[in-house]
Every structure is written in structure tokens, then in C-alpha cells.
Amino acid sequence: MTDGLIDVLIVEDNEIDTEAVRRAFRRADFANPTHSACDGEEALDMLRGSHGRPKLPQPCLILLDINMPRMDGITLLEELRDDAEFKKSIVFMLTTSGYETDRKSAYEKNVAGYFLKENLGALVETLKPYCRGNEFPC
């Protein structure tokens, strides 16, 4: 953590959506450090510090899209839950998928929340007090 702030990893293949999250954070005075990955494979490399990537500090809050190339969000979530180091990762889904099957699949893998991208403001308003008031394990 930097200055007591938990790092946020945005896993999203659309750069415009990634920047929209960052803008929403700035508008809400949510100063947590952010990192971005374009898909699940890149996110795993960042979390593990593999393939020449520096390892992200832990704990790390993950905002995860579902529909991405190479490795989608549900597959990444399965990988995280099967890895002893990351099985307790704090994951919020941020997606356009309103499908009940996606929502059920995400919650079966212990996500902290499921937000549609159209409700980005609600996600930021949820995360701000969650990150500031929560006691995270180091």
C-alpha cells in the first residue's frame, strides 16, 4: 500500500472505459493508486510479477470486466481463486454484462460486488468508504 491507500487494478480491454474509471476516481477524490491491464493474462503477470512485469503490492483491489480477449474476467477470477496467494483477492466486477449467469458465476467465486458500467458512480461511492475505512491484511 502507498500512504495507507490500497492499490487498484483495473482489468479492462477498453481504454476509454479504463480512463472513465480513473476520471470517476479523480472526481470523487479517490486517490488510490491505479494500474491497468488489458485482459486476464496481463493482470496475472502484473499480480505475480512475471514476464518482466513488476509485482503489484498486495493487498490489491481488482475491478474486473468479464468480456475480454485472451483471458476473460470469469476465467481470471477462477485462476485467482485457485491460487493460494490470490484466492482472497478483493474483486469487484465492472461490466456491461447484465446476464444472470455471469452474475451468478461471479458471486459463486466470491466477488465483493457486481456493478454494471452504467452505474460507475455507484461503484466509486461504494469503494471510497470501503477503502478508507476497511482494515486490510498486509
Residue 87's pLDDT is what? 87
Q: Per-residue confidence at 119, pLDDT binned at 50, 70, 90?
A: very high
pLDDT score recorded for residue 1: 47
- pLDDT of 104: 96
Q: How confident is the model at residue 2 (pLDDT cuts 50, 70, 90)?
A: very low
Is residue 86 scored above 60 in pLDDT? yes
CB 128, CB 99: distance < 8 Å = no
Which whole number is the average pLDDT over 104-108?
Answer: 96
Residue partners of 68: CB distance under 8 A and separation at least 6: 11, 12, 13, 38, 39, 40
Domain boundaries, the chain: 7-133
Q: Which CATH superfamily is domain 7-133 in?
A: Response regulator (3.40.50.2300)
